[in-house]
Structure 1
C-alpha cells in the first residue's frame, strides 16, 4: 500500500489522449525490434539446447505482443479519445501485462522443473524488452520510470549472478528468484496501468474543473458586461428622461448650507429663527453655498439661459425679498431634517422678466444626512395665473354687465316717465323753456349714461354696417386736433390697402374720441398722440381671446404718464377713473370694451408707468364694400288722427299713463292694460283695434309678442309697435314672428312715438 501510494504521488502528470497516441506510435515502431530480439534469442536457445521449448515459449508470449500491437493500432484509428475509451485502453493494458507476466512465469516454472538454467536467456531477453516497452508506456513520469528500471536491473543482476556463480543444484532457487522478478515486472505493469487511469481521471477532473471555472468566468464576464450595458442604458435613459423632461428639473448641492447650519450648533427652531432675524448676513452666506450641479433643457428655458454652464455657475449674489424667503425656508427645512419642501416664488429670468413658479425639492436617497444632492422640480405658473386673472376679470365684468343691464332697464323706465310727463306739461300748459329744457337735457344725459352702461354689458343695440375705418379716422382728424389742444401733436397713419370693417361707426367714433381724451389727460404738459390703422391677421393662438381670422386694428399711442399694473388691471371697470371728480365718468374704456366684444373684436391696452400707453381696438374684417349712409334729419311729425283705436299694453303705470295721455291728446282712442290677462278682455273687440303698442317684458311670465300673436288670430291685419328698456328685449322681439315690427327704445321722445304710430297706421 505504501509503494502504491508513493507511485500515485509520483504520477501527478499523466498522459492525455495525445500522449497515448504518441505511445502507441512508438510501441508499433519498437514492436519489430522486440520481435527481432525475441526471435533471435529463441533461435539461439533452440539451437544451443537442441530443443523446441524456446520456440513454444515464444509463440505463447507472442499472443500478448500481438494484442498490444492491435490495441495500439486501434488507439491510432480514433481522431479523439473519450473518457470511456481511455478507460477501456488502460484496462486492456493491465490485462495484457498480466497475460505477459503469466506467460513468462509459466516459462520460468518450466525451466525450474527441467532444471535447465540455460533456458533463462529467453525470459531474460523478454524482461529487457518489456522494461523498454513499459518505460515508454508511462514515459512522462520520470520517478516511476526510474523506479521500474531500478527494479528490473536489480532483477537482471540477481538472475545473472545466480546463473554464473551458483551450481545447477540450486536451479530451483534461481527459478524462484526469477519468478519473483517476473512477478514484480508484471506488478509494475499493472500498477502503471492503474496509476495511469487514476491520474488520467484526475487530470480529466481538473480539466473539467478548469472548463467549469472558465464557463463560470465567461458567465460572470457576460453578466458583468450585461450589467454594464444595462447600467449604461439605464443612465442613458435617465439622462434622456432628465434632459428632455417637459418640466424644469435641477440637481443642486446643499451640503455647504448644511455645514454652516450644523456649525451654529442650535437645536431649538425658535432660537434659530431668532438668530436668522438678527443675522441677515448668515442668509447671504447660506445662499452662496447653493450649487447647481445639473439642469435640463426646460430649466434653461425657464430661466432664459442658452448655455447650461451659465446656469450651473449661477450663485445668489443679492437676496431679493422672494429669494430671502426661500433661503430662510430652506435653512429651517435642513435644520429640521426634512426630506423636501414645496413653495411658490417669483424668479428673475436672464432677460430681466419676472415669472411666478411653483417649486418642489426632495433630497435624493443616500444623501439624507449631507443634502449633497437634491432634485428640484418647478412649474411656471405665470400663464396660468394670468389666465385666472383674466377669467376673474371676465367674470367680474360679466357680473357688472348683468347688474348694469338690469339697472339700465329700470332707469330707462324712469327716464321715460320723466321725459314724457315734461312733454305732456308742455302740451297742456304754457311752460317756460327755461325750466323744461334742463329737465329734457338731464334726461338725455341720463339716456346717454344708460347707453354707456349697456355698451359695457354688451347689450346696447348696434347699427352694424360695413365702412372704411381709415376714412372715418381721417375725417375725425380736425375734431381730434381741437380736442387735444395746442400743446399736443397728433399723427395719423392710415395705409391705402386697409380692409373694410363690420361694426357700428358711431360706437367706433365714440371709442376713438374717448381714447384721445384719455391720452390728452395723460399728457398735461403736452405730448404726441399717434393714431394708426393696420390690417391684422390673427391666428388661432393669441392672447386677445379672438377667433382666427382677419381683423383691422385701430391703435392710439401716447407719450403720457402711463399706468402702473394695479391701475391697468382695473381700466375696464365701470365708473373706475383716476381723474379728479367731475372730469371723468369712468365709463369710456368700459364702453369701448363692451362694444368691441359685442362686435366680435377686442381691446388690448399696454402701458408702462412713465412711458405712455398704447390702446388697440380690433374690429372684424368685412367681405363687403363700404356702405355710404346719410343720416335723415329728425322733424316734428304732423299727426292726422282720425279716431283710430290703439291698445296700450304696459306694466309700468307711469309710462302707460304718459303714452295713453299723449295719444289721446293727439286724437286717438286708447285702450290701456297693465297685464296680458287684462289685455285679453279686449280680444272680443279685436276687430275694433287698429294698433297695438306693447312693452316686451311683462309680469306673469308672458311677453308682448305672445299677446300680439293672440290678437292677430282675431285681427290678422293689426300692426304692432313694441317698447323696450333693455336691448335683450329687442332681440326677443326680433327673433320671433314680429321681426319686422318697429321697436321704441326707452326713453323715447313724443315726436318719435307719434311718428312711429302715424307710419304704422298708414301702412
Structure 2
C-alpha cells in the first residue's frame, strides 16, 4: 500500500506558527493597533468577543468598542495615552459589541516600541461578564448579610423596649380616657387630655415602628401579586405626593407572586415614595419598578441562588454620600431637623423585609438620586414547612 503523504505544510515557519497560535485563541480578542489607535490586525477571538468581522474592524479606531458616553469623555484616547506613558496598562471596564450589547471586559494593552520609537499597541481583551456578575452577586449577598447581623442584636434590644413601652402607653391611654369621662372635667382639663392623648398616639406609632424594625410585628403572609398590588396602590401613592412630584410605574405583568403581608408592603412602598418626595423639594419624578432577579440569599450559610422580586423606588434627588447611605437604615438615624422625623422610616422597611426573608439594597451617590430596592423571595422559593 502506498504511503499517504499529507499536503499540509509542517509547522516550521515561525510566522505561520505565531499566526496559528493567535488565531486559535478564541476566548481572548488579540489585536494590533497603530500608534493612533487604529486596528491593523486581529484574531478570531476578536470577532467572537466584539461581534465584528475582520473586514469590518480592520482600519477602524479602537473607540468603536466603547460606549458613546465613554467616547464623549475621551476614555479610548486616555487609555492609549496611559499605555504609551507606562508601557503596559491592565484594567477592566464596560465595552460594546457590534449589536450594541454591553459586556464587562478585562484588558491588557502593551506599547510596542522599536529602537525607542512607538510603532503601535498590542491589546488583549477578555469577556469577563459572567465572572463580574457572580462577584457582584456575592458582594451584594455579603453586604446584606452584614446588615442582618448588625441589626440582629439591636433588634433584640429594641423588641424588649418596645413591648415595655407599649405596656406603659396602654396604662397612660387608659388613664387619659378615664379622666376625659369624668363629669367635672373643665375645658382646660379636656384640652390637656387631648394633647396628652395625641402624644400617647404618637408613642404608639413609634412602638409599632420599633416592632417592625425588630421583626417582631405580626404579619399576615399570603400570596401577593406585585403588579396588581402596585397598580391598585398607584392612585393613593400619587395622592400622598406633593403636586410637583409625579409617580411613574414600570412593572411587568408576568412577575411571580411573593408571600408577604400586603398591607405592610403597601406601607413600606409608601414610606419609600414619601422619602423620595422629601428628597426633591423642587419636584421631579419618583419611579417604581419591579423585576425578577436571581440573587444569592444572604441569610444562608452556604451561598444559594434564589429568585427574588425586586421592588425599586427611585428618586431624582441629591442622593446621599457613602457615610450617610451606610447608616440610612439604622434606627433613629436621620438627617432631618429635630421634630421632623423619628429616623425609623427606612429601618422599619428593613425590619419588615427581613421578616419576609428578604433584604434591602440602597444605591445612591451625591447628585445621582437614590434607589431603594426591596428584594422579596418569589413564592416558589418560600419554605412552607
Q: How does 1:524-603 map to 2 (within 5 A)?
A: 524-534=281-291, 536-539=292-295, 541=296, 548-603=305-360
Alpha carbons 1:537, 1:551 under 8 Å: kept: yes
**CA, structure 1 residues 609+310, in 2 after alignment: closer, same or farther (shift >3 Å)?**
farther
Aligned to 2:150: 396
Report the Cα offset of residue 484 of structure 1.
2.0
1:421 matched to 2:175? The reply is yes
Deviations, residues 456-476 of structure 1 (Å, cap 9, x unaligned): 111122122223322322222
Q: Matches of 2:349 and 2:304 in 1, distance apart?
A: 19
1:306 matched to 2:63? The reply is no
Give the structure with the larger strand fraction.
2
Q: Matches of 2:205 and 2:181 in 1, distance apart?
A: 25
**CA, structure 1 residues 429+481, in 2 after alignment: closer, same or farther (shift >3 Å)?**
same
Q: Matches of 1:574 and 1:542 in 2, distance apart?
A: 24
Q: Matches of 2:198 and 2:355 in 1, distance apart?
A: 28
Alpha carbons 1:544, 1:604 under 8 Å: kept: no
1:511 matched to 2:312? The reply is no
Aligned to 1:451: 208
Give the structure with the larger helix fraction.
1
Report the Cα offset of residue 308 of structure 1.
5.4
Q: Matches of 1:438 and 1:309 in 2, distance apart?
A: 75
* 1:616 maps to which of 361, 370, 373: 373
Aligned to 1:408: 162
Q: Matches of 1:596 and 1:608 in 2, distance apart?
A: 23
Report the Cα offset of residue 437 of structure 1.
3.3
Farther off after superposition, 497-506 or 450-459 = 497-506
Q: How does 1:245-644 map to 2 (within 5 A)?
A: 305-307=106-108, 309=110, 393-427=147-181, 429=183, 431=185, 433-534=190-291, 536-539=292-295, 541=296, 548-622=305-379
Q: Matches of 1:593 and 1:486 in 2, distance apart?
A: 28
Aligned to 1:172: none
Aligned to 1:250: none
> TM-score normalized by structure 2?
0.59
Alpha carbons 2:144, 2:298 under 8 Å: kept: no
Report the Cα offset of residue 446 of structure 1.
0.9
**CA, structure 1 residues 402+563, in 2 after alignment: closer, same or farther (shift >3 Å)?**
same
Report the Cα offset of residue 538 of structure 1.
2.1
Report the Cα offset of residue 543 of structure 1.
7.0
Unaligned runs of 5+ in 1: 1-289, 313-349, 351-381, 625-763
Equivalent residue of 2:172, what SS? helix
Deviations, residues 516-553 of structure 1 (Å, cap 9, x unaligned): 1111111111111111223x1424x4679795333322
Cα RMSD for the two superposed structures: 3.7
Alpha carbons 2:314, 2:370 under 8 Å: kept: yes
> TM-score normalized by structure 1?
0.31
Q: Matches of 1:575 and 1:610 in 2, distance apart?
A: 25
Deviations, residues 472-527 of structure 1 (Å, cap 9, x unaligned): 22222222222222212211123222322211122111111111111111111111
Equivalent residue of 1:423, what SS? helix
**CA, structure 1 residues 507+608, in 2 after alignment: closer, same or farther (shift >3 Å)?**
same
Aligned to 1:120: none
Alpha carbons 1:408, 1:453 under 8 Å: kept: yes
Q: Matches of 2:175 and 2:111 in 1, distance apart?
A: 78
Alpha carbons 1:560, 1:612 under 8 Å: kept: yes
Q: Matches of 2:320 and 2:299 in 1, distance apart?
A: 20
Alpha carbons 2:87, 2:111 under 8 Å: kept: no
**CA, structure 1 residues 300+581, in 2 after alignment: closer, same or farther (shift >3 Å)?**
closer
Alpha carbons 1:601, 1:619 under 8 Å: kept: yes
Deviations, residues 693-747 of structure 1 (Å, cap 9, x unaligned): xxxxxxxxxxxxxxxxxxxxxxxxxxxxxxxxxxxxxxxxxxxxxxxxxxxxxxx
**CA, structure 1 residues 467+564, in 2 after alignment: closer, same or farther (shift >3 Å)?**
same
Alpha carbons 2:312, 2:372 under 8 Å: kept: yes
Alpha carbons 2:294, 2:306 under 8 Å: kept: yes
Q: Matches of 1:311 and 1:592 in 2, distance apart?
A: 56
Report the Cα offset of residue 411 of structure 1.
0.7
Deviations, residues 641-699 of structure 1 (Å, cap 9, x unaligned): xxxxxxxxxxxxxxxxxxxxxxxxxxxxxxxxxxxxxxxxxxxxxxxxxxxxxxxxxxx
Equivalent residue of 1:569, what SS? helix
